[in-house]
Amino acid sequence: MEDTQQEALSKELDGLFKYLKRVREEIAAVYKPQDEEHQIDKMGDQLDAITDATAEATNTIMEVAESNQDQVDVLRKEDTTEEERTAALQKIEDNSMAIFEACSFQDITGQRVTKILKSVKFVDERINSLVDVWGKEEVDKVDVDGLNKTEDEQLLNGPQLKKDAFDQNDIDALFD
């Protein structure tokens, strides 16, 4: 009987060690993935770059649109010479090119977002593996509502996806 209990205990310990090893491997995979691209801090860098590129492009477009307006004002003056008109039209044309160049950020943004999505999917797969190891029933028992959120953050619910957003007519009806 003692050998049977020892065998059972040995099997249980072996199973526990395998379980802990798998959990450790999955956590390590999230913490230090083999592909450097999937590191959490790299995702933050990519998001920062998207924000910077978007802000820079927006500023360029706004400055160029303002410059175009100035050139239109020159063209509208009655006393504008032919040379001034030609220079204003050239400036408007140059500005149009600058707008096209500023809009090229979209291609780089798409590439960066694709990298981030791949990384998020990688992390999601690792987390799902951990859930499988731990057991979905155990994970469901954990209360995560409001976890690490300030009062203000708990009130925020946006920006919403187009499909989830309220219709403007519904919002206007609230004020009628």
Which is nearest to 71 in space by CA: 53, 50, 87? 87
Most confident of 48-52, 69-73, 143-147: 69-73
Residue 50: closest CA among 98, 97, 107: 107
Structure confidence at residue 160 (pLDDT): 65
Tokens 């959490």 -> residue: 40
Q: Which helix (H) or strand (E) holds 58?
A: helix 40-76
Measured distance between the N- and C-terminal CA atoms of the chain, rounded to whole angstroms: 81
State pLDDT tens for residues 10-35. Answer: 888 888 888 787 777 777 666 666 66
d(CA 112, CA 50): 7
